[in-house]
Amino acid sequence: MVQAQYNNKSMSRSAALILLLWCVTPFVQAAELCAFPGRDSDRQLKGVVNRWIPSPDNTVLEPGTRAITVAEGWRGRGAVQSGDLLLLVQMQGAVIDHGNDDAYGDGTAGDGIGRGLQALQAGYFEYLRVEQLSGVSLQVRGAGPNGGVLHRYISRSASKAGLQGAARWQLVRIPQFENLTLTDDLETLPWDGRSGGLLALDVRRELRLNGHTINAQGAGFRGGAALTLGGALGDELDFRYRAPAVDELRVRFGQHASKGEGMAGTPRWVVTGQQESPVEDSLPQADKLSHSDGYPEGSMAKGAPANAGGGGVSLSADNSMASGGGGGAGGTDGQAGFDVAGERRGGFGGAAIDVDEFVVTAGGGGGAGTRSQGKGGNGGAGGGIVMIRTGIFNGPGVINIAGAEGESGDQAGGGGGGAGTLWLQAPFGRVDKLKLNVTGGSGGQGPALGGSGGDGRILYGGGLSIAGLTSRPVNGRLQRDSAAGVAAGFICRPSGMLLGGTLFEDNGADVAGSDDAVAHDGRRQRLEKGLAGWPVRVLTADGNEIATTKTSENGQFALELPEQWAGKPLRLSAPIKKGWHAVVAQSNDLPLAPFRYTGNGEWLFTGQKEYLQDGLVLGLIREPELEVPAQRTAKKGSTQVFLFRYIPHTDSRARFHYRGELSGSAGWKHAFFLDPDCDNASDYVEKNSTSWVPVQAEQPVCVRVRVDVPADSDMTSALKMRIEVESDLGNTPLGLTLKPAQADIVISPAL
C-alpha cells in the first residue's frame, strides 16, 4: 500500500516553489492525462529497470487504437498493471531507394527527410497509460482520437518481394519513481530485432545519478556480421547484393560484406554480441534465392540503408581485396570505410535524419568489412535511446548513448555504430558535473579501416542548459516540454487525486499447496485471485458519476480525479454483484484516511488537490452453490439415488441438513448420506444432520439421498426432499455470515 500526501522535505522551500510554479503554469493541458506519478516510491536502484514488450508480426495500430495486442517474449523487469506508464515507439520502418546504383538509399534531394530515406515511419513515439491488462492484450489511454494512440504504428517482417525491410514497434514499461538514487549504473537490454535498446525513467521529484552512469552504449541497432567469402560474380560497383544462405556460407560462396541494422530493416547476417553465438541468421527460414535478405534486393555491399552503415565492397572477384564497413549514423552521418590504400572505397556511411524534433532513434549499426580469410571485421552496434523525465536532475554522473567500435579484422575493419538519442526533460538541476558520451563508435582497425559512426542526438527541455557539456552536436532545445500522451510525473504533480486499489476474492484459496493464503481477513495473500472486469466509479454526493473504470485481469483499478473536486464530498463505489459479500480489514490495520468504508462496496472521502491513494483493498467472497438433481418420477419398487453437489467459494466450514416430507401412502424409505470428497465413499447420517465439516474454496462436497419406492405406491404418493447447507466463516472483520444454501426436490411414482 502506498499512501502519500505530496510534500517534499528533501527540497528547499524556494526550490519547491520554483518547481510548483514551473510545473503548474505552463502545463495545464498536458497534465490532463496522467499515469501514477511516484507510484514506485523512493528507490535506490541499479541495473535494469524497464520491461520491453515486442510487437506481433503484421499488425497496424491506427490512430485512436486503445486495445493493443502484443507478442510473447517480454524482457526486463517490472510487472505491467493498470495505471502503469508505457512508452510506445516505432523502432524500425522506412522506405529507401533500392536501385543498384549510387542513388541507393539516397531518396529525393531537398525533401526535408534527409539522405537515405524516401519515407520515414521509425522514430515516432508517445506515452500511454495502462487501463486494463489481459494476457497479451492491453487497454490503454493516450492523447489520440477517442483517447487512443496518436500516431500510426506498423509491425511487419521484411517483404519477400524485396520492396521493404522490417518495421517494428515496441512498448516499454517505465517505472514511476517519487525520488530515485542510483547505487550503481543503470542499463538497458540491447535491441534484439524485436525489443530493447531503450532506457526510460519518470521521476516525479529528484533523480540523483550519485556518480554513476545511465548506460545505453552499443544497445541500439546491431552491426553487420563479417563473413568469410570467396566470391560470387559481384564487383565493386554493387550497392546491394544477395546474402549467402546457410549452405552457401559453408562453401564460402558469396560476395561483399553485410550492411548494418537500422531503421529501414535488419540484414540477414547480424552480430548478436553473445559470446556463445556471436553471429545470427535473422532470416533462418529464407529461401536461398530470396531477393529480400531483410533489405530490398539484398543485404550485402556498400549501399547504406537509412541510418545503417553499408557493408564493405569486394574490390576483386575473389573477395581478397578488402574494404572496411561504413559507420552507422546518429545525429550526424556515418563515415565511409577505406581500402588498403586509405581511400574511401568501402561501405558508405549511414545517413542522419533531419526531421521533427519529436522523433527518437537508436544509432545505426556499422557495416561489416569484407574478408576472404582470417578473422574479425564485424560492424559495431549503434547506441541506444535514453529518455528521462524528472523534476530535479542532479549529477555528478554520466549518460552514455555512444555507438560501439567496429571490430578490427585481419583484412578489414567493421564500421562503428552511430550514437543514439538522449531525450531529457527537467525543470532544473545541477548538470555542471554531468558528462555526456554521445560519440559514434570508431571504425575497426586492419589493412582496410572501417568508417566511424556518427555522433548522437540530444533533445532537452525544462530549465536545464546542457549545450556547454559537450562539443558534439546538440539538436536543440525542445520547443515543447511534453511529448504526446501521458505527461511527466513532475508535470502532473498530480493536479487532483489518483486513486488505485484492488478487488480480490478473499477466500483463502490454496491451489499451490502453500499455507500463506488466509481467508476473510480483508488482505490479499499471494494465492487469492483478483476480480477482473468489475466496475469502479467515483460519484458526487448527489450521485453524478465523474470517473469510471473496470478492474484489470489481476483485480487492480486506477482512477484520476481533476483538481476541481478538491474539498468536495465524494463516493468511491465498486458495486457488489448479487451473490457476493464484502470483507474489509480493520481500520487500525489499514489506515486509509480520508477514506471511510460505509458498506456495500463504497467509501466516502473528500477530494484532495495533490493526493495518491494506491492502497484501497476490498476483499469479496462469493456465496456457495448447490448443484441439484432434476425433478423426476420413479418406477414403483425401484431404488433412486439423488446427488447434491455443494461448491464452496471460500475456505470455511459447512453443516448439511436433510428433511424428507412424505405425502399419500406410507412405506417409502429414504436415507441421507455424506460424501465429503465426492468420491462415492458415502457415510450414512444417523440424524439427518451432519456435524460441521471443513471445506476449501472450489473443492466440492457431496451429499446423497437414497429413496426406495414401494411397489404398492399409489399415484397420490410423493416425497419432498429438502437439503440445507449452513456456512460458518469464523471471525470476519464485519461479523459476516452467508445465508444457507437450500434446495427442494420432489419425487413421485411413474404412471
Portion of the chain with pLDDT greater than 70, in percent: 85
pLDDT at residue 481 is higher than 80: no
Q: What's the mean pLDDT in 322-342? A: 96
Which amino acid, residue 272?
T
Q: Give the residue, 392 or 402, on which the prediction is more confident.
A: 402
pLDDT at residue 689 is higher than 60: yes
**H-run or E-run covering 490:** helix 489-492
Alpha-carbon span 94 to 263, nearest angstrom: 6
Torsion-angle region of 301 (φ positive above 0: left; ψ -120 to 50: alpha; else: beta): left
DSSP, res 412: B
Res 507: pLDDT: 85
pLDDT at residue 674 is higher than 70: yes
**Residue 706 banded pLDDT, cuts 50, 70, 90:** very high
Tally the residues of the chain. Answer: 751
Torsion-angle region of 7 (φ positive above 0: left; ψ -120 to 50: alpha; else: beta): beta
pLDDT at residue 15 is higher than 50: no
Q: Which three cell numbers stand for residue 172?
A: 516499454
Alpha-carbon span 253 to 272, nearest angstrom: 23
Outline where DSSP puts E strands in 515-609. 535-540, 545-550, 556-562, 569-573, 580-583, 596-599, 602-606
By the 8 A CB rule, do 258 and 299 touch?
Answer: yes
- Of the candidate ranges 10-14, 43-47, 225-229, 531-535, the one whose mean pLDDT is the lowest: 10-14
**H-run or E-run covering 13:** helix 13-24
pLDDT at residue 553 is higher than 90: no
All CATH 2.60.40.10 domain ranges in the chain, comma separated: 495-622
3-state secondary structure of 147: helix
- Of the candidate ranges 126-140, 398-412, 488-502, the one whose mean pLDDT is the lowest: 488-502
| pLDDT tens digit sequence for 31-89 | 358 888 888 888 999 999 999 999 999 999 999 999 999 999 999 999 999 999 999 99
**Residue 249 banded pLDDT, cuts 50, 70, 90:** very high
pLDDT at residue 7 is higher than 90: no
DSSP, res 261: P
DSSP, res 150: S
Q: Give the residue, 462 or 331, on which the prediction is more confident.
A: 331
pLDDT at residue 469 is higher than 70: no
666: buried, middle or exposed (CB in 10 Å: 19+, 13-18, 0-12)?
exposed
Q: 112 Cβ partners below 8 Å, 6+ apart?
A: 354, 355
By the 8 A CB rule, do 116 and 329 touch?
Answer: yes
Alpha-carbon separation of residue 725 from 624, 670, 732 (angstroms): 9, 19, 19
* Alpha carbon distance, N-terminus to C-terminus of the chain: 66
Res 586: pLDDT: 60
3-state secondary structure of 227: coil
| pLDDT tens digit sequence for 209-244 | 999 999 999 999 999 999 999 999 999 999 999 999
Res 271: pLDDT: 94
Nearest alpha-carbon partner for 240 in 252, 229, 255: 255
Alpha-carbon span 532 to 523, nearest angstrom: 17
Q: Which residue has the cell 556463445?
A: 276
Q: What's the mean pLDDT in 303-317? A: 95
Alpha-carbon span 216 to 131, nearest angstrom: 30
By the 8 A CB rule, do 655 and 726 touch?
Answer: yes
Portion of the chain with pLDDT greater than 90, in percent: 54
Res 515: pLDDT: 54
Alpha-carbon separation of residue 229 from 202, 223, 226, 302, 303 (angstroms): 48, 18, 9, 16, 19
Q: Which three cell numbers stand for residue 343?
A: 581511400
Q: For the beta carbon of residue 586, count every other beta carbon within 10 angstroms.
A: 10
| pLDDT tens digit sequence for 344-385 | 999 999 998 766 557 899 999 999 999 999 999 999 999 999
Q: Which three cell numbers stand for residue 746?
A: 420432489
Alpha-carbon span 436 to 216, nearest angstrom: 12
β-pairing, 176-187 with 42-47?
parallel
Q: For the beta carbon of residue 130, count every other beta carbon within 10 angstroms.
A: 24
3-state secondary structure of 223: coil
Alpha-carbon span 311 to 237, nearest angstrom: 13
Res 558: pLDDT: 78
- According to DSSP, the residues that pair with 428 across neighbouring strands are 392
What CATH number labels 495-622? 2.60.40.10
pLDDT at residue 750 is higher than 90: no
Outline where DSSP puts E strands in 282-432. 385-394, 397-400, 421-426, 428-430
| pLDDT tens digit sequence for 154-206 | 999 887 656 789 999 999 999 999 999 999 999 999 999 999 999 999 998 89
Average pLDDT for the chain = 84
pTM here is 0.72
What phi and psi values does residue 561 have, to the nearest 5 degrees? -115, 125
Res 516: pLDDT: 56
**Helix-, strand-, coil-residue percentages of the chain, each rounded to 5:** 5, 35, 60
Decide which of 2.30.29, 3.40.30, 2.60.40, 2.40.50 is the CATH code for 629-749: 2.60.40
pLDDT at residue 446 is higher than 90: yes
* C-alpha neighbours within 13 Å on the C-beta side of residue 434: 23
Alpha-carbon span 523 to 394, nearest angstrom: 39
| pLDDT tens digit sequence for 576-600 | 999 998 887 765 444 456 788 888 8
Q: Which three cell numbers stand for residue 748?
A: 413421485
| pLDDT tens digit sequence for 98-118 | 889 888 876 333 333 344 567
- According to DSSP, the residues that pair with 645 across neighbouring strands are 627, 702
By the 8 A CB rule, do 189 and 219 touch?
Answer: yes
**Residue 459 banded pLDDT, cuts 50, 70, 90:** confident
Q: 511 Cβ partners below 8 Å, 6+ apart?
A: 527, 698
Res 31: pLDDT: 38
